[in-house]
Chain A
Amino acid sequence: MSALATRIAALHKAHGRWSLLEIGFWLLPIAAIWLFPTRHLTLSEIGILALFALSLDLILGFAGIVSLGHTAFFGLGAYVAGIATIHGLTDPTLGLLLGALAAALLGFITSFLVLRGSDLTRLMVTLGVASVLAEIANQASWLTGGADGLQGVSAGPVLGIFDFDLYGTTAYLYVLGVLFVLFVIARRIVTSPFGLSLRAIHGNALRARAIGIPVDRRLVAIYTLSAAYAGVAGALLTQTTDFVSLDVLDFHRSADVLLVLVIGGTGYLYGGLIGAVFFKAVQDVLSNLTPQYWHFWIGLILVLLVLVGRERLTEGPRGLVLWLMRRIGGAQEKPVEEAPR
């Protein structure tokens, strides 16, 4: 390996190291167990939304694919987990796996459709896939319960030991555990050379192809992975709420998750998590103030966000986090341009 390659490898490795700030970040949801003992149900909702946004970040933040129908995978995971539970497969972990597999399969198949078109076609295809699924779920009421929703879902104890309780404590710990494990995997993936190649594609697909990155295969892989993540999030929702309704496939979910991710900032994994906390907090306050019209304020936030400049707003938290990471995690980062040629 040349000197430059060694340097880049070392830099890359240093970049992938866990900083103190990140460890501190993960202590917060653990502290929340005791800080908000009465709100574990809300906390697990936040965790699920965070995982959903994380899955969108994988394709939007790292591969640059704008999706208007990401909830297709979320909803599929939710329904698969629910139907599995009704037919006797009550083990939650198994439910998660099934949800992830089903969503990954759908993601794999539809990724070829998404790859084919350019921007506008892409939007339409993602939107179309989600609409098709919603229509199937609506019409196939013998399987999904149709507009009444899937009744009688009851997940078994987590890992065969911990029963879901009324206060959502098990649910929260379960969601948090799943979120953490999947986050670590996602983090490992995006800091790997594979993740770097995704960033290259995001930056300029044409040039990425020219330096020998198999663009299409990479995009199929990340799209499938993202779909699986969304499927897990959906399955978690089913298991923690014991209910699936058509709402999981509704367009507003795709829009909400975009907003969540954009609030937190794309392309550094934590955006989805931070955005989820913020979104749920805002939703909580607004829906208490105006239960019927709270989407008005969500819309206003979206419009302002875009007008003020998404970058300017999210560069704030993101820049702060990166800066803190550098300060606390030791100043390992030096620009690559300084390398001797």
Chain B
Amino acid sequence: MVTLLFDGIAYGMLLFVLASGLSVTLGLMRFVNLAHGAFAMAGGYVMVVLMHRYGVPFLATLPLAFLATALLGAVLERTLYARLYGRSQLDQVLFSIGIVFMAIASADFVMGSEQQMVTVPPWLQGRIEIFGGSIGRYRAFVVGICIVIVVALQAILQGTRFGSRLRAAVDDPRVARGLGIKVPMIFAVTFATGSGLAGLGGALGGEILGLDPTFPLKFMIYFLIVVTVGGTSSLTGPFLAALILGIADVMGKYYLPALGSFIIYTLMIIALILRPQGLFARAR
């Protein structure tokens, strides 16, 4: 029970880190980016290549995965995404599906279609006995990192000048521009950070979620659930939604394997019917 709960929490935290970038682009900037998972996949592959081909130590690959995907995100944002802010939803959907298809085929072409094996260093293997259950060390490590990221994100958004500029830019880009805030710059940095976090999540989650070219499609609906069910007014909503989703998914698959992901999708639909703005949204 403790083990399952902890696995669920680790899974949920991971989902949050993966989806946090999306909660800003989709939730705040209103850009329907179905390709968010592609950045996560990129991060995962960066880690795999660095570790297995160049022998970079595991811990060092994590920041590198973040930087590489953040850079990729920044380049794509400046060249492609920035042109699509404010375009119709259909355009954004088509565009990002296109990106997903290209990402899947490219990953297949470069890395092959097989599942990538991720081996974590020995000090992260094995389990710890605690509270009458056993907890995977790697999962404990993931939870630790995720907590740090969540706290840091919250601090940046709420406490720094950049955070208040971002919130201003999102609330009313015109007025924000009038006040001398460089809105495109803010959006670019935000998008890049979100992509980087997705990449970091992909790298961290390689061992738990698995990594193969269909990753962006397989987890697309999970990211979207976190953001839409969580609501978009703060980071707390998506965070709680991710935790619930993670725990419900792990528990559901353990106790009712015959139902598969059925429970998750049904719960999502019900949640969206009852609270279209998200479970934890404040009325705006």
CB-contact partner of B101 in A68, A128, A136, A298, under 8 A:
A298
- Contact yes or no, B269 A300, CB < 8 A: no
Q: Which of B94-134 contact A (CB under 8 A)?
A: 94-95, 97-106, 108-109, 113
Q: Which range contains the number of A residues in contact with the other chain?
A: 35 or more
State the CA gap A75–B94 with chains docked (Å): 22
In the complex, the number of residue pairs spanning A and B with C-beta atoms less than 8 Å apart equals 125
Question: Is A306 an interface residue when CB atoms closer than 8 A count as contact?
Answer: yes
Residues from 97 to 119 in A contacting B, C-beta threshold 8 Å: 113, 116-119
Contact across chains for B269 and A129 when beta carbons are under 8 A apart: yes
A306 contacts B221, C-beta separation under 8 Å: no
| A135 with B89: CB separation less than 8 A | no
Asked whether, in the complex, the Cβ of B221 is within 8 Å of the Cβ of A307, the reply is: no
Q: A118-B276, A124-B272, A306-B91 are in contact. Are A299 and B260 (CB under 8 A)?
A: no
With A125-B269, A127-B224, A128-B269 in contact, do A136 and B97 touch (Cβ < 8 Å)?
no
In Å, the complex CA distance between A303 and B269 comes to 29
> Which of A295, A301, A310 is the one whose CB lies under 8 Å from B105?
A295
- A121 x B276 contact (CB < 8 A): yes
B92 — nearest CB in chain A belongs to which residue? A306
Partner of B258, one of A120, A139, A298, A302: A139
**Number of contacting residues on B, CB 8 A?**
43
Interchain CB contact under 8 A, B276 and A259 = no
Q: Are A131 and B95 in contact (CB under 8 A)?
A: no
Find the B residue at minimum CB distance from A298: B101
A314 to B105, CA, bound (A): 27
| Complex interface: chain A residues within 8 A of B262 (CB) | 132, 135-136, 139
List B contacts of A306 (CB < 8 A). Answer: 84, 87, 91, 94-95, 98
Interface SS of A by simple majority: helix
CB distance from A8 to the nearest CB of B (A): 29
Q: Which of B264-280 contact A (CB under 8 A)?
A: 265-266, 268-269, 272-273, 276
Shortest Cβ distance from A112 into B: residue = B273
> For B93, what are the chain A residues with a Cβ–Cβ distance below 8 Å?
66, 68, 123, 258
13 A/B residue pairs, CB under 8 Å, sorted by A: A60-B90, A66-B89, A113-B272, A127-B221, A127-B224, A128-B269, A252-B217, A262-B90, A294-B105, A295-B101, A299-B97, A305-B98, A310-B90
